Amino acid sequence: DADVTQTPRNRITKTGKRIMLECSQTKGHDRMYWYRQDPGLGLRLIYYSFDVKDINKGEISDGYSVSRQAQAKFSLSLESAIPNQTALYFCATSLGGAGNEQFFGPGTRLTVL
């Protein structure tokens, strides 16, 4: 079984809809991250969480919100989706402490029409 799972794997939605992407991990890691990947731009950090009560904005947090429901679960929400949020979204986890190896989920491909 995969250590980091994401649901759904693919989603097509319309402009203005609310969307939630979910991430679960069985690695027992404290830190969780959300990234988006766009062609030619690489992966960019949206939000990250060091534990359930510690959530931080990344470089491109506008238009997104997150919830850390438990150590193992970290959800990303788009309150009102827009077409330029069409991207591949990845969740990642790592142990606490600076510079630990990050482990990625399989990604969610989101298309906003």
Partner 1 sequence: KQEVTQIPAALSVPEGENLVLNCSFTDSAIYNLQWFRQDPGKGLTSLLLIQSSQREQTSGRLNASLDKSSGRSTLYIAASQPGDSATYLCAVFGNEKLTFGTGTRLTIIP
Query: Quick check: 43 binds partner 1 (CB under 8 A)?
Result: yes
Instruction: Give which of 56, 112, 113 is closest to 89, Cα–Cα.
Output: 112
Measured from the CB of residue 45, what is the shortest distance to partner 1 in angstroms?
5
Query: Quick check: 40 binds partner 1 (CB under 8 A)?
Result: yes
The mark string for 53-92 relative to partner 1 (x by CB under 8 A, - otherwise) is ---x-xx------------------------------x-x
Residue among 42 and 84 whose Cβ is closer to partner 1: 42
Query: Quick check: 42 binds partner 1 (CB under 8 A)?
Result: yes
Strand-strand pairing, 19-25 and 73-78: antiparallel
H helix count then E strand count, the chain: 0, 11
| 31/55 Cα distance (integer angstroms) | 10
